[in-house]
């Protein structure tokens, strides 16, 4: 605060006090309460000095700096748009991606606080909250290597180059353009579909070790039907559920080779020791069946078109090439299978990725 401002404030205060004293001497009808009220109003007069406070000056400077930075940013974006349109698109995608990632982080924080204060277990979360936690965890895990690479000095330039040339391998979907999202989903699904045939052949080989002749016939018929390019009914899939709770196809009883074929269906690497593959598959299978139960509680009809397509893609089908009604029909069949299974039968749910999606609506 300047000296002149302080002088103005003090002179105003002294003038107010002088007027108060004169009025008190000229009349004897002032009560104690009125005198108290007049004394109480003194600070409100003193508040005339506040527009000259340093805090308001700082806020004004902050608004000015912010507006100037916004102006510079707009000029920079316009320059990139005119001279380097491809780089401008990348720049905007990155900017919007960070905003989406920050928004997701706040949403996850809200969900975590809700779980803590309400003592709400994960399995009882609403579907959208559960799906948000699942997606965010996967995105963060994928982003960790890129963060580690960028730690050394000046490494951020190398990281930017890598992100430009290898967006699918290094970036999470927040930083993909809409065109890249459709393209990369197709790539990932094609990698996943390569394992449909090995999974089915593995089941055929395993069926020879099934002692129950009736279950053996059902399993062979089911595999043969899918290999012929037909779509099995839900009842035909559930008819073999007894084989997937214990040996030879239970989650902890199937061969390591079969687990390696199933892992890419969930976008998991098969290049790990057998016990780690078993642990990861079991965890992802239980998470998937809990997600299905939350979806049943919500009601699949509550999902919008984008959510339906995302749900179908997660469960094994490339929804980009389907009509939305086909997606909803397929998701309904999946939930019929999932809602009939116990936790001990989640191995059948993983194999249903192949049973239900390999030929729907026709061969891929």
* Tens-level pLDDT at each residue, the chain (364 residues): 443 443 334 344 334 433 333 333 333 433 344 333 343 444 444 444 444 456 666 777 777 777 777 787 677 667 767 777 777 777 777 778 888 989 999 999 999 999 999 999 999 999 999 999 999 999 988 888 877 777 777 666 677 777 788 889 888 998 888 889 999 999 999 999 999 999 999 999 999 999 999 999 999 999 999 999 999 999 999 999 999 998 899 998 999 999 999 999 999 999 999 999 999 999 999 999 999 999 999 999 999 999 999 999 999 999 998 999 999 999 999 999 999 999 999 999 999 999 999 999 864 4
Pull the structure tokens for residue 281: 């598959």
Domain extents in the chain? 3-52, 85-176, 193-357
Scanning the structure block, which residue is given the tokens 């709400």?
120
Element (H, E) at 137: helix 127-149
DSSP string, 87-135: HHHHHHHHHHHHHHHHHHHHHHHHHHHHHHHTT--GGGS-HHHHHHHHH
* CA nearest neighbour of 348 among 241, 235, 270, 261: 241
pTM for this entry: 0.76
pLDDT for the residue 271: 93
Scanning the structure block, which residue is given the tokens 């999902």?
303
Residue 78 main-chain phi, psi, to 5 deg: -65, -40
**In 3-state terms, what secondary structure has residue 363?**
coil
pLDDT for the residue 76: 66
pLDDT for the residue 228: 94
Contact call for residues 123 and 290 (beta carbons, < 8 A): yes
* CA nearest neighbour of 127 among 277, 249, 269, 290: 290
- DSSP assignment letter at 359: T
Q: Using omega within 30 degrees of 0 as the cis cutoff, is the peptide bond preceding 239 cis?
A: no
pLDDT for the residue 153: 76
pLDDT for the residue 75: 73
Please tell me the distance from the alpha carbon of residue 6 to that of residue 2, in angstroms, as a whole number.
6
Contact call for residues 330 and 312 (beta carbons, < 8 A): yes
Please tell me the distance from the alpha carbon of residue 330 to that of residue 231, in angstroms, as a whole number.
11
């Amino acid at each position: 605060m300047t000296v002149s401002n302080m002088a103005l404030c003090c002179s105003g205060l002294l003038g107010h006090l002088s007027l108060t004293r004169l009025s008190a001497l000229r009349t004897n009808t002032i009560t104690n309460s009125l005198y108290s009220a007049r004394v109480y109003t003194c600070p409100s007069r003193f508040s005339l000095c506040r527009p000259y406070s340093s805090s308001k000056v700082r806020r004004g400077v902050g608004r000015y700096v912010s507006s100037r930075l916004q102006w510079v940013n707009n000029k920079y974006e316009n320059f990139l748009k005119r001279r380097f349109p491809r780089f401008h698109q990348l720049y905007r995608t990155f900017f919007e991606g960070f905003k989406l990632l920050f928004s997701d982080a706040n949403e996850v924080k809200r969900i975590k606080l809700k779980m803590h204060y309400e003592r709400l277990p994960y399995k009882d979360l609403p579907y959208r909250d559960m799906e948000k936690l699942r997606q965010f965890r996967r995105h963060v895990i994928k982003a960790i290597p890129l963060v580690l690479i960028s730690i050394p000095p000046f490494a951020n330039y190398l990281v930017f180059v890598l992100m430009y040339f290898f967006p699918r391998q290094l970036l999470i979907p927040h930083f993909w353009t809409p065109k890249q999202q459709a393209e990369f989903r197709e790539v990932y699904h094609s990698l996943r579909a390569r394992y449909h045939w090995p999974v089915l052949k593995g089941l055929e080989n395993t069926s020879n070790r099934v002692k129950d002749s009736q279950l053996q016939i059902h399993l062979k018929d089911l595999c043969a039907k899918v290999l012929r390019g037909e779509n099995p009914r839900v009842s035909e899939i559930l008819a073999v559920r007894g084989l997937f709770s214990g040996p030879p196809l239970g989650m902890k009883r199937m061969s390591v080779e079969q687990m390696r074929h199933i892992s890419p269906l969930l976008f998991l690497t098969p290049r790990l020791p057998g016990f780690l593959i078993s642990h990861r598959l079991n965890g992802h299978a239980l998470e998937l069946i809990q997600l299905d139960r939350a979806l049943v509680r919500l009601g699949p009809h509550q999902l919008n078109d984008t959510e339906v397509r995302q749900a179908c893609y997660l469960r094994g089908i490339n929804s980009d090439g389907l009509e939305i009604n086909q997606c909803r029909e397929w998701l309904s069949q999946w939930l019929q299978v999932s809602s009939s299974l116990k936790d001990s039968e989640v191995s059948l749910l993983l194999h249903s990725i192949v049973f239900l999606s390999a030929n729907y609506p026709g061969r891929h």
